[in-house]
Structure 1
Amino acid sequence: MKAIMSEHTRREFIRATAAAAGASFAFNSVPRSAASPRPTAVPMPTQRSKALMALFALKYPIFEAPHGARNTTPELAIAVSKAGAMGALALTHHTPDSARDAVSKVRSATKGAFFINYILAFPFADGAASLQAALDAGAPIVQFSWGLPPKEAISAIRAAGAKLGMQVTSRESAKAALDLGADYLVCQGTEAGGHVQATRGLYEALPKVLEEAKQKPVIASGGIGNGDGIRKALLAGASGAMLGTRFVATIESNGHSAYKQAMLAAHAQDIALTICFQDGWPATHRALRNRTFVLWDAAGCPPPGKRPGEGESIATTPDGSKVLRYDYRSPYRGMEGAVTECALYAGLSVDFVKDLPAAGELVERFWQECVAAHNITAGTAPRFPKRSKDGRIRR
């Protein structure tokens, strides 16, 4: 988990990010004479976010995260895109036909921006055909996470005239992505929900990624759940903010209703960074501490083959297939059984899930909150989230 910065380090960090954004901040602890000029307020949106919005024809510098192939449906991407933000389609496990259909559905419903995403932790042999079908259908932006795409994929993206984005977590991974020609980067922090590629907190990783990216847009991701979180990301130098957990809890999300209700009732202290739900994808992830997690944790977090309840069917999918305990799939509409014992992915931003609105309404709310918070604090240094060792936000 990320370390809490000292006050001196925090000030140096704020000064550096302020310089990158072309603005200056005042520090409450530094006395200022009556004759001293007031600090220059940073405009909202910032110059960096304005450039991002121009690049992708966005109304707001807000991105929907590609949070699971069964949750990021065309309906959710359409709603986010129509509201002026960046919609997302997770296509990792899609066939060429289903990828083509999903992209075509979004393209026919909105002229707004959206991207498709592929997770490279899975073999890309099948994904290559899906990618080409999606590009043929008019996918305008392709994003990759958990690895670097093969050169053949990049060539296909360029041939189609599409933009390329990559998720990164460090200066080194940012450089590798930029060397392959990434048009923008997504900097993920460990605060994120779902499968966590990052090993550092967002505000530890972000300055280094920004330094490497120079003028290329960087989207902040992890633990952002409201407008004030977006404001902090933009003032830290990010061009935009990506939100996943909060978009699961919307009307258009395909997440199971019981999953959404569990998120409504949860707080950050109810979240675990774990490897509990590793069957199908053995990677670190953030999820709610549900009954499956409690059983496994109480048994001492044993490895596969020694876990309590292993092999037990806890739910069924709409097509009747079984979902076993410790399966990595999160519950979605049409699943039946003990769905709240499945993987309920959520980030530390779950504290901000208070209702289940329409996604378009949520986008508008985010920006209203962002501007309102900025107007209140204009001319003061941004206060970055402080977290205790267990990841909880320190109020």
Structure 2
Amino acid sequence: MTSLAAAHPRLRARMARGAQFLGCDYAIMAGAMSWVSERNLVAAMSNAGGFGVIACGAMTVELLDREIAATKALTGRPFGVNLITMHPDLTALIAICAKHGVGHVVLAGGLPPKGSLEAIRTFAKVICFAPTLALAKKLIRSGVDALVIEGMEAGGHIGPVSTSVLAQEMLPEIGETVPVFVAGGIGRGEAIAGYLDMGAAGVQLGTRFVCATESIAHPNFKRAFIRASARDAVASVQIDPRLPVIPVRALKNAGGELFTAKQREVAQSLDEGGVAMAEAQLQIEHYWAGALRRAVIDGDVEHGSVMAGQSVGMVTKEEPLAEIIAQLMAEAVTALERRAA
């Protein structure tokens, strides 16, 4: 299957709204993964008919400027940029996206700051994460163009509720209002077909694409994924209630123990008056950024953070991204045909 036009009519109909919104063949977004979702993987995803998303993360304005330009040199297909709402240079990053004519901006990390939605909507569609139904409705009233609902099975920063529960709770309420993309724990096409049948406009996958041939993740990082099972992807534990650490799902290793030790160290600094609360929380976030880079880029999968969703057990080999997309679509078609029969 090389295009959506060649897909099963029912799958084509189910994906039509999401694909049209994104401007791609398949209503499949690639989750923005720091250090992994850069020009090569993003361009490969869009070239394969899906929708790639650059993970800006903690990038400087200059870095994002170069990354968008480099991605555009590798693909003429639409792609998006993921921006973190708490980034100190968010306004300047939005301006860079406008400069390059980025068509979709994905905002993550909390409620968008005042004026940010209005600024983005002058040149692009806005996609936001909605962890609860109440917040989803508030974002829709604020003018967002689409939502991602992500369950706790996902890799990286997670919430407390599973994908299946979020989908059941939210799709009947908001699925007709704006396009909704379901994320978290999706590793096969049967799950994609199921969420589309429930009313999703599309899906978002991250873990499934880490071991794509085009991914720049270190060979050690990819090997860790291929060897892992779902039970190896565990959520971090919050040590001190004063440090509202958003849980992070990653593969079990010594790095998890180091994070526990880091939390204790920061909590002690708080007790002794060595740091203010805001600085303490920032130290925690900086820890994750550095730990993830050590794993993804340097290949230290024992002491770095190997962020992975529970679908990691379905990642069994390194293969071209286009083949992963083709397999997912073939599985979705088979599932729909079985239901029709």
User: Are residues 1:202 and 2:163 paired?
Assistant: yes
Q: What is the match of residue 51 of structure 1? A: 17
Map residues 145-160 of structure 1 onto 2, 5 A cutoff. 145-160=108-123
User: Are residues 1:100 and 2:60 paired?
Assistant: no
2:125 to 159, 163, 166: 163
Q: What is the DSSP-based 3-state SS (H/G/I as helix, E as strand, rest coil) of the residue aligned with 2:215?
A: coil
Aligned residues: 313
Q: What is the DSSP-based 3-state SS (H/G/I as helix, E as strand, rest coil) of the residue aligned with 1:143?
A: strand
Map residues 214-225 of structure 1 onto 2, 5 A cutoff. 214-225=176-187
Structure 1 residue 149 displacement after superposition = 1.4
Q: Which runs of 5+ in 2 are unaligned?
A: 1-7, 268-285
What CA distance in whole angstroms lies between the structure 1 residues aligned with 2:117 and 2:93?
Answer: 14
Q: What is the DSSP-based 3-state SS (H/G/I as helix, E as strand, rest coil) of the residue aligned with 1:220?
A: strand
User: Are residues 1:127 and 2:94 paired?
Assistant: no
What CA distance in whole angstroms lies between the structure 1 residues aligned with 2:161 and 2:59?
Answer: 31
Q: What is the match of residue 245 of structure 1? A: 207
Map residues 1-395 of structure 1 onto 2, 5 A cutoff. 43-47=10-14, 49-68=15-34, 70-120=35-85, 123-160=86-123, 162-196=124-158, 198-210=159-171, 211-275=173-237, 282-293=245-256, 303-305=263-265, 328-331=291-294, 334-335=297-298, 338-378=300-340
Task: Spell out structure 1 runs of 4+ moving beyond 4 A.
Answer: 294-297, 323-328
Structure 1 residue 287 displacement after superposition = 0.7
Q: 1:56 to 1:274 in 2, by over 3 A?
A: same
The 8 Å contact of residues 52 and 239 in structure 1, kept in 2 or not, is answered as: yes
TM-score, L = length of structure 1: 0.72
Larger radius of gyration: 1
What CA distance in whole angstroms lies between the structure 2 residues aligned with 1:163 and 1:326?
Answer: 27
Structure 1 residue 111 displacement after superposition = 2.6
Which amino acid letter does the alignment assign opposite residue 21 of structure 2?
A: L
What CA distance in whole angstroms lies between the structure 2 residues aligned with 1:205 and 1:224?
Answer: 14
Q: What is the DSSP-based 3-state SS (H/G/I as helix, E as strand, rest coil) of the residue aligned with 1:45?
A: helix
What CA distance in whole angstroms lies between the structure 2 residues aligned with 1:245 and 1:61?
Answer: 17
TM-score, L = length of structure 2: 0.83
Structure 1 residue 296 displacement after superposition = 7.3
RMSD between superposed Cα atoms in Å: 2.9
Q: Which runs of 5+ in 1 are unaligned?
A: 1-40, 308-322, 380-395
What CA distance in whole angstroms lies between the structure 1 residues aligned with 2:104 and 2:287?
Answer: 35
Structure 1 residue 202 displacement after superposition = 0.9
The 8 Å contact of residues 239 and 264 in structure 2, kept in 1 or not, is answered as: no
Q: 1:302 to 1:343 in 2, by over 3 A?
A: closer
Q: What is the DSSP-based 3-state SS (H/G/I as helix, E as strand, rest coil) of the residue aligned with 2:66?
A: helix
Structure 1 residue 375 displacement after superposition = 1.7
The 8 Å contact of residues 274 and 286 in structure 1, kept in 2 or not, is answered as: yes
- Percent identity of equivalent pairs: 27
What CA distance in whole angstroms lies between the structure 2 residues aligned with 1:325 and 1:199?
Answer: 19
More helix by share: 2
